[in-house]
Amino acid sequence: MAPAQELPPETEAEPLGDAADKSRVTVVGSGNWGSVAAKLIASNTLRLPSFHDEVRMWVFEEILPSGEKLTDVINSTNENVKYLPGIKLGNNVVADPDLENAVKDANMLVFVTPHQFMEGICKRLVGKVKEGMEAISLIKGMEVKMEGPCMISSLISEQLGINCCVLMGANIANEIAVEKFSEATVGYRENRDIAEKWVQLFSTSYFMVSPVQDVEGVELCGTLKNVVAIAAGFVDGLEMGNNTKAAIMRIGLREMKAFSKLLFPSVKDTTFFESCGVADLITTCLGGRNRKVAEAFAKNGGKRSFDELEAEMLQGQKLQGVSTARELYEVLSHRGWLELFPLFATVHEISTGRLPPSAIVEYNR
């Protein structure tokens, strides 16, 4: 395992006293959105006295075509040249390839990795996080277990024994990276003060964050909209037009709301009108990676797999919509709900080749 990056000299000697009360933040993940999250957070830890300046960012180590390690390049250039090229993260961001070392001093963890990796990451962190740790998940997806679906925030809370909020919203990472105005929603359970601390940590003049007491609602919006975006991509690939796409988005929002409330009756109707709901659905169906790859899938008549297209088009980034559609289909099938959610079911059946892309508008609505 590669040694952790040494702290720059100016951060080695923290003054005693108030420093002990300052929060230390680690970002677990360093892809496109993870790098943008680190940039947002790092700009705030420098100016807010309640946080240590340094932000650790755990990086899954990769060797670049140049032969250099990704962590070394991030630390020498202050830039994630693979996943967020051309954007400076902040001199106080330190990339660390050692997961346990990256989290050992933190008392606030920001999880932002593809959802399919989270169970393994949590297992590695059991017993390695500080008591009283607070976490937030920016991850869109769910784990499906024998006993039913498990949201990623619940997985984190249960495996690590810590409270976990969520942050979701209309957040295409490359637009936030260049500081175009955007919004997001923090979902929290009971402690409004913790939610406000996360709001403070993420908010900037161009990134407006609002708290909502509805973790499941916020998280399910962020998860399910990727499935609808796959459907929107099919429509684009088949050149069906804007009316059809709008209809698919409306039907998708209806199914998102119905599924969320069936699974968690506590989910609030108003959550779907926050940034995490209708706004995130719109932006993902217009410009996200799930829509983009689904469009290519439909243009090829479903003859090239999503795995092949993902590898070709996303430079190492991962699709969430296809795996979420599969997990969703398992839940719907197990509970006898397939007929209640025809759009969700059809997306999975097209993605796996059981139906042609044109079936996106042929199911019984």
Residues of the chain with pLDDT under 50: 1-17
Helix 118-125 to helix 152-160 angle, to the nearest 10 degrees?
20
What does the alpha-carbon distance between residue 154 and residue 135 come to, in Å, rounded to a whole number?
Answer: 11
Residue 141 assigned ligand-binding role = no
Cα 49 to chain centroid, rounded: 28
pLDDT at 16: 38
- Give tens-digit pLDDT for 24-44: 999 999 999 999 999 999 999
Q: Is residue 82 among the annotated active site residues?
A: no
Q: Domains of the chain (ranges plus CATH)?
A: 19-213 (3.40.50.720), 217-361 (1.10.1040.10)
The pLDDT score that the predictor gives to residue 336 is 94
Residue 30 marked as a ligand binder: yes
Determine if residue 365 is labeled as part of a ligand binding site. no
Secondary-structure breakdown of the chain: helix, strand, coil percentages, each rounded to the nearest 5: 50, 15, 35
Any known ligand binding at 335? no
- Asked whether residue 290 is marked as a ligand-binding residue, the answer is yes
pLDDT 10s digits, 108-119 = 999 999 888 999
Say whether 321 counts as a known binding-site residue. no
Catalytic residue among 39, 82, 197, 225: 225
Question: Does 51 carry a binding-site annotation?
Answer: no
For residue 115, the model assigns a pLDDT of 86
- What's at 133, amino acid-wise? M
Terminal C-alpha separation, the chain: 53
140 annotated to bind ligand: yes
pLDDT at 160: 97
Contact between residue 195 and residue 183 where contact means Cβ atoms under 8 Å apart? no
Is residue 182 helix, strand or coil? Answer: strand
Q: Is 42 annotated as a binding residue?
A: no
